[in-house]
Amino acid sequence: MRILKSGDRGKEVLDVQSRLRSLGFDLGTDGVDGYFGDDTRLAVLQFQQSNGLVADGVIAENTWCELVESGYEAGERLLYLKIPPFRGADVLMLQRSLNCLGFNAGPEDGIFGPMTERAVLDFQKNSGLVVDGMVDDSVLKLIDVVTKDGEPHSDEGKIPDRNGGAAGGRTLDRCTIVIDAGHGGDDTGAVNSAGRCEKDVSLAVATRLSRALESAGARVVMTRESDQTVPLYLRPATANTARADLFISIHMNWSDNPRAQGAAAYYFSRKGYYSEAGRILADAIVASIAEAAAVPVMPAMGRNFAVLRETEMTAVVVEPCFITGEGMNDRLDDDTFASDASEAIFSVLADYFGRQ
């Protein structure tokens, strides 16, 4: 898709604006006029912030998908398991309600997958409805009645995670881990004042990490092994196809302010749902990098990034440092930082899964 940003004009902008307005975002005095001005940018930023997306005021693939999916209301279409799966706000509401009622619909990712279908079947069986996995009016009406009269929706509930918050007693030598080096090829990622690119540092850390995991006996799949372009949505798809136990994406942080320093990590979170396993892992990883590589630690953050949402397993995005941080470029000149960071991540994974 074409990326839409300030100053753009046309039918696509009109489409974005009408979607934003129907979701209740304020487009200011100009309204839906087909011009991407300041008011539209502000509305996009607000939409991104309220959906856990990177708030850059630009409509690229991930924000566009979320915008389309946010528009579906419960009951607007018949939901059931199909390929490719139904996605959207209506699926999210269904998953949230089923989880609230104690039927395990899996991660609240807004994607109607096999776990959601199983929860629907369970719900139908328990309610004396036709057990066919189709979310029709009879299912929706009953869910509505039960959730309104029963347990109120809580915003920060402890909801069953895809792995129940733990790795399930597997050791590293029985795991498949997908390592995703961020960006690559035409997409350089962030670039610091010395011209060093995020894509190269990410690959250096990812390569070291994957070697360490392989020598511990893990099966490792990398989404890229060289400086090549990999589409955003292919990255989680690779992990899903490999039936990975864990997805780790390596990026580098950046800021206009050279004083910004520190290790950051992100786990899947969206509208009150968060991945407990992801949070535990992300927290442990930032702490470990901070100690090994002597950088400040930032608390793990819940985000709705495409790679975190689309992956069917526990997933974490790690940013070991700000490549724009003061003095950081010198530290990236030799391999010390990349190896310290990758060893720090490795030791967390070894503890998390257990060594053989």
Residues that bind Zn ion (CB under 5 A): 182, 189, 251
Determine the Cα–Cα distance for residues 35 and 143; give it in Å rounded to an integer: 41
**What phi, psi does 4 have (nearest 5°)?**
-105, 135
CB of 250 to Zn ion, least distance (A): 9
Half-sphere exposure of 75 (CA within 13 A, CB side): 8
Nearest to Zn ion of 155, 256 (CB atom): 256
Residue 300: which residues within 8 A CB-CB, separation 6 or more? 264, 265, 266, 267, 279, 282, 283, 285, 286
CB of 229 to Zn ion, least distance (A): 14
Determine the Cα–Cα distance for residues 236 and 119; give it in Å rounded to an integer: 24
Residue nearest to Zn ion (CB): 251
Q: Tokens for 302?
A: 């819940």
Q: What is the sign, positive or negative, of the torsion defined by CA atoms of 281, 306, 50, 152?
A: negative
Nearest to Zn ion of 52, 182 (CB atom): 182
Nearest to Zn ion of 96, 251 (CB atom): 251
Nearest to Zn ion of 23, 60 (CB atom): 60
CB of 252 to Zn ion, least distance (A): 6
Nearest to Zn ion of 87, 183 (CB atom): 183
3 state SS of 56:
coil
Asked if residues 176 and 230 have their Cβ atoms less than 8 Å apart, the reply is: no
Nearest to Zn ion of 208, 251 (CB atom): 251
Nearest to Zn ion of 54, 68 (CB atom): 54
Asked if residues 100 and 156 have their Cβ atoms less than 8 Å apart, the reply is: no
| Alpha-helical regions (H) of the chain | 11-22, 38-50, 61-70, 89-100, 114-127, 137-149, 198-215, 234-241, 276-293, 306-310, 328-333, 336-353
CB of 198 to Zn ion, least distance (A): 5
CB of 253 to Zn ion, least distance (A): 8
Determine the Cα–Cα distance for residues 345 and 356; give it in Å rounded to an integer: 18
Asked if residues 6 and 57 have their Cβ atoms less than 8 Å apart, the reply is: yes
Asked if residues 100 and 146 have their Cβ atoms less than 8 Å apart, the reply is: no
Nearest to Zn ion of 87, 251 (CB atom): 251
CB of 183 to Zn ion, least distance (A): 6
CB of 339 to Zn ion, least distance (A): 20
CB of 189 to Zn ion, least distance (A): 4
Question: Beta strands 264-270 and 314-319: pairing type?
Answer: antiparallel
CB of 2 to Zn ion, least distance (A): 21
Nearest to Zn ion of 182, 325 (CB atom): 182
